[in-house]
Structure 1
Amino acid sequence: MAGPARVVTRRRSRNAARRFVAERGFRRHADTVLYVGLMLGTAITGFSIWRWPHAVPPLAVAPFILLAGLLLRIQRLNHVFALNGLVLTLDAYTQHRPLVVIAAFALLGIMYVVATSRARLGIRGLTGENLLVDLRDRLERTAEIPPLPSGWSAEFAIAAANGEGFAGDFLVTSLPINSSHLEVALVDVSGKGRQAGSRSLHLSGAFSGLLGSVPPETFLTRANDYLLRQRWDEGFATAVHLWLDLDTGRYAVSRAGHPPAAVFRSGTASWLLDSTVPGPLLGVFGGAEFPLAHGELAPGDGLLMYSDGVVESRGRDLIDGLDRMLGVASGILVAGRMGVADGVVAGARSGESDDRAAFFIRRV
């Protein structure tokens, strides 16, 4: 049996090598065709600008500048841009159209900056945008709430600052198969929008791996240790962690510099804020402790976790933000409607100037 196994492995290796060579050869061929086409197109357009200056404007080279900036490697890009620069310079010298030529040179400079930035990341064309979309989708998948047993409902809402695609807030959840123990962590990374998006992507994967893999009472401690190992200059974060027994309704909440969780008591239609002293920010110093607040959700009760962007804003007292949030949530619950998380995010005091996120779970 050993002999045939080695033969199969060798054949697979050869086939893989052939596919790799063929693919790389095709890419090199396509790059060469594109490069030659852009050089010829620029030369022909340059001649047309010189020959028929009133019919062909200098900005006719703009498509070649855009395509080269998006699709060519830097070495070949320099050749195409140099030829475009020569065409524009000759037009400025012979036709005296400085404003149009300056606009074309500005486009050339902008695309060169874009191309060098993409080259540092090793991407060309639209692969960079596709990569960002894939990363954003992965971040959204970590926030998916697992199917809950009968008698429970949960919802999550998030909005990035200024309508951007990435937020510094994220949610991770864990509900192992054949287990009634749900764990949820809502994390707010320092910064907002795209500034914090990369750290959110990094930490969401790490925290998702920790959640359900370590004892609930040590989750924030392990998360803090992980953040400290990254040695980021501004890599701190706040977090709130929930452990919930879906059979009994018993829960435990711990916080790391995060706003207090709010518990809705259906019997009195009132809210109670977690008064336990929170632990420090994640990623500031080691050996930190994160006290647990214990409780139980009876039928009709609910628990709300949210980020500081929901309740904080410049020039406003935090108490006002809390009252506003709980007032919105109470109105939705009294009306018997769903959408508590969406409601408090939409009615956040900070408006669109900060990231906002909220998670609400209720025992029905």
Structure 2
Amino acid sequence: MMQQRRNYYIIGSVLLSILLVPLSGSGIISLKWGIVPFFGGSALIAVSLLWLSSCIFSKEMNSGYILQVFRYILTAGLITSFSGLLLLSGSYIRYVAMDRLSPHWILFWPLVLVACLIFLAGMYRKIIQGNVETFKRWERFIKREDREPRSFLKNLWEEVILQKQLRRESHIRWLRHVLIFWGFVSLWLVDFAFAVITKYLPIFGWPPLPKDSAVRVGFDFFLDFFGLMILTGTAVALLWGLRVRRTTQKIYTDTPTAAFLFIVAFTGYLVEGLRLAALPYEPYMGYSFLGNFVASFIRGTDLSFSSIHRGLWLFHVFISCAFIAYFPVKRLVHSCATPVGKLMQSQKTMLDKKVKGVVSGLLNPEE
């Protein structure tokens, strides 16, 4: 009954959001109605994950209650973010119609929305639905009183963050993985903060950041720096893949994914370079060191920057969203699944009880 009620709530919330899109598109409700639920929903998703961590670091409260609250908060966060994306799409359509935005922006939020839905569906199918039977086999051995928080934190630091085991096995694979994984995560976090501070807070009355302010040029520098990490990591992956393509090490390569991500990162720098090249040079542009490097080759030429920039920007947005949707399909999904497995391996007491339970079942099949 509760599951059915939750499904009705989800369907009703989605339908209500869809009905509100014409209101945001017509201007009856403002852009703020899309911004607040989108970022509020993102915050709820983060809170749900923090709440779930209490299963590991605390013995207070019943586990069933913690999981139930987690599901409610996570569901509310996903629905709220989804609603925000729909309302933002309506507002962007209106701004394009009013000539306040270039027409190519009309595609941005719908593409992000579709990519996120495909990503979430794929991750659910791969990580959750695909491991239901495994969880059922483990369920009777997972007791909160057996948890080992210190071992969990140790494995989190050494095997998930620093990737020590992978470094022992292969320095080149470790370098590739660290550059791509942490470059991607860091770029996403910085880009998220950049969008909030420079694009959306001014809508609520915050003073916009000057382009040469310390915060703004700091964003410019780190966006280029973390993008360079991804570009370097994918280049290393592609070159190493060519080197080992006829050896047993080939099983550790994923050339199509590396090439895909390389194109995403490379076109991002081309877009940034074209944007900067269309403007007279100013000292603050130097902090976007790679974008400015690209711009230095084309600034002052007779190229039609606006048309080239718009076309390349659309291509970059499309392949970026395609990559988000592609993430659960290939080996990249292991960047999420593998850390979970390593964290479970840190729980020695649970593992021992599982082994004893399996052995007991084999020796006493009638029990």
Answer yes or no: same fold by TM over 0.5: no
Structure with more strand by fraction = 1
Rg comparison, structure with higher value = 1
Structure with more helix by fraction = 2
| TM-score, normalised with respect to structure 2 | 0.26
| TM-score, normalised with respect to structure 1 | 0.26
